[in-house]
Structure 1
Amino acid sequence: MTTTDDAPSPHPRAVFFVSDSTGVTAETLGSALLANFPGVTFARETVPFVDSVAKAQRVVGDIRAAAETGPVPLVFTTLRSPSVKAVFHAAPGTTIDLLSDHLTDLEQALGVTASEQPGQYHGLGNVERYFARMRAVEYAIEHDDGQSERALEIADVIIVAPSRCGKTPTTMYLALHHGLLVANYPLTDDDFPTDGLPPMVAPYRERCFGLTTTPLRLSQVRHERRPNSRYASIAQCTLELRRAEELFRRTRVPFINSSAKSVEEMSAVIMQSMKLHG
């Protein structure tokens, strides 16, 4: 078992990525979904090669232990065996089958029943494209929220925006679905006043793309993370958004308002604007 914990929290929510193969698909798809909830702390565990009821029952023991000491665990699975899947659906956690609905749709469309051989669907049609996407996801995780300056020169796009404007979900979507190398940088009070972009991303202005939103929407999202704080106040949100838009215009960085757009729509606009092809 391979364990990776997020930032410390008194009660992190346990997350298990369970697979009958390597676990890469379960971890990648599950992590992309979790990226939509940056205010929640997760303790992640990837459990590969769970291809028997006995192995599943051992993992359920870990899930049960996590449920006894913290919030209800989340269990993301990519499993083919009905008997193995049944073990997890009876476990004391919220089990999310990442493939079941999609396989059912395909069975109906193709008129063929899917194979129950463990790991069968991991034989991907375009291996190079698959691994390109995996590398893109790794790059996105490393460069989330301005955490790393390493290899920024190879980024396809650098998303720049105030906190909670949708940087991380958009970054992960572009990486996972299009295999693009995407970094993102959060604009904070420390970045102002300034005439140009922050030093970390200034050399790559032509690769930068900005996100904004409305003060009300930003305040609502921030209140979920820090209720009744200055950070979430309408005044602070209005100030940060105004400064960001002025910065984007001054430095000729294209930007869009994310308040009424889905991640898919924002990604399409970014790709079209930056002339990127996934």
Structure 2
Amino acid sequence: MPGARPIFYVSDGTGITAETIGHSLLTQFTETEFKSDRMPFIDTDAKAHEAARNIRAAGEAAGERPVVVSSCVNQDIAEIIAGSGALVLDIFEPFIAPLERELGKSRQPRVGKAHGIVNFDSYHQRINAMNYALTHDDGVRLDYKDAEVILLGVSRAGKTPTCVYLALHHGVRAANYPLTEEDLETDRLPAKLRPYKNKIFGLTIDPDRLHQIRQERRPDSRYAALDTCKREIAAADVIFRTEGIPVLSTTHASIEEISSRVLEALGINREMY
């Protein structure tokens, strides 16, 4: 991507925090082209010097000053990275000093703390939620009494990835049910779902986008035909309206936004891990 501004997510841990925050920052600059790279586990001076050389070289090749989003806890490593000549954004810096003043305590740097297994109960909750999402995917199992969320929608509307995200990041037991042609022949919920109506959230999608997604899966099939997509989406939307089910279009929504909307609508307040 010649001419794109290089941006690096550098960390002496996984780099997940730096990348997550960095991506959020970049969404505010949609007219600028970026080429991003994550550099995790930069936890020795030797690795830091190599990273600094690579960052400097990328800037020279692009003819643009690189940007580094850093979550390096080790200050010696942070200083070496700063020697790359890049604009370094330390994600901790704006917050540490105010917190130290407020708490009356100095920081105790710990690499990898943000994504470590701090609480085994919450860790096992997420693992169990992931197993639940996988065993209750696409209506495979219909015993929903333990479900916290049931995502409802036509095939390929984004139900499975949302269930996996809810399980992995929030420890929520999420199932999903795909509306079949038989289900769509009526404007009511399928009988097997009615006892769980208070757990249901609907996902819809623009027919053109659904057509595109299905074409990638089954090219030129009846399943992927635009007319099929339009008919299924229209019938599903009738069910959502008739039953008063909360619904969100996934066409332009990120999985993070979809998940947050689902939790808000169903009144589930769960910490993000």
- How high is the TM-score relative to the length of structure 1? 0.58
1:196 CA displacement = 2.1
- Pick from 192, 195, 203 the counterpart of residue 203 of structure 1: 195
Larger radius of gyration: 2
Rounded to whole Å, the distance in 2 between the matches of 1:265 and 1:153 is: 26
The CA RMSD measured in Å over matched residues stands at 2.9
Pick closer, same or farther for the CA change 1:192–1:275 going to 2, 3 Å.
same
> Residue by residue, what CA displacement relative to the aligned partner does 1:51-104 show, whole Å, maximum 9, x if unpaired?
xxxxxxxxxxxxxxxxxxxxxxxxxxx999x9xxxxxxxxxxxxxxxxxxxxx9
- How high is the TM-score relative to the length of structure 2? 0.59
- Equivalent positions of 1:207-226 (< 5 A) are 207-226=199-218
Amino acid at match of 1:269: R
Q: Do the aligned residues in 1 keep the contact of 2:73 with 2:110 (CA within 8 Å)?
A: no
Q: Which residue of 2 aligns with 1:136?
A: 129
- Equivalent positions of 1:8-87 (< 5 A) are none
- Pick from 221, 239, 242 the counterpart of residue 247 of structure 1: 239
Amino acid at match of 2:192: M
> Residue by residue, what CA displacement relative to the aligned partner does 1:143-196 show, whole Å, maximum 9, x if unpaired?
00000023x112111000000000001010011000011000000102132242
Identity %: 40
Structure 2's unaligned 5+ residue stretches are 1-39, 45-68, 78-108
Pick closer, same or farther for the CA change 1:161–1:105 going to 2, 3 Å.
same
Rounded to whole Å, the distance in 2 between the matches of 1:240 and 1:109 is: 51
SS in 1 for 2:134: helix
Q: Which residue of 2 aligns with 1:181?
A: 173
Rounded to whole Å, the distance in 2 between the matches of 1:123 and 1:216 is: 42
> Residue by residue, what CA displacement relative to the aligned partner does 1:228-251 show, whole Å, maximum 9, x if unpaired?
111111100000000000001101
Rounded to whole Å, the distance in 2 between the matches of 1:115 and 1:237 is: 51
Pick closer, same or farther for the CA change 1:181–1:253 going to 2, 3 Å.
same
Amino acid at match of 1:111: Q
Rounded to whole Å, the distance in 1 between the matches of 2:258 and 2:115 is: 29
Rounded to whole Å, the distance in 1 between the matches of 2:219 and 2:137 is: 24
Residue 70 of structure 2 corresponds to residue 111 of structure 1? no
Rounded to whole Å, the distance in 2 between the matches of 1:268 and 1:123 is: 23
Structure 1's unaligned 5+ residue stretches are 1-77, 83-103
Residue 237 of structure 2 corresponds to residue 234 of structure 1? no
Runs of 4+ aligned residues of structure 1 deviating over 2 Å after TM superposition are 109-116, 120-123
Q: Do the aligned residues in 2 keep the contact of 1:162 with 1:212 (CA within 8 Å)?
A: yes
Pick closer, same or farther for the CA change 1:111–1:259 going to 2, 3 Å.
same
Q: Do the aligned residues in 1 keep the contact of 2:184 with 2:232 (CA within 8 Å)?
A: no
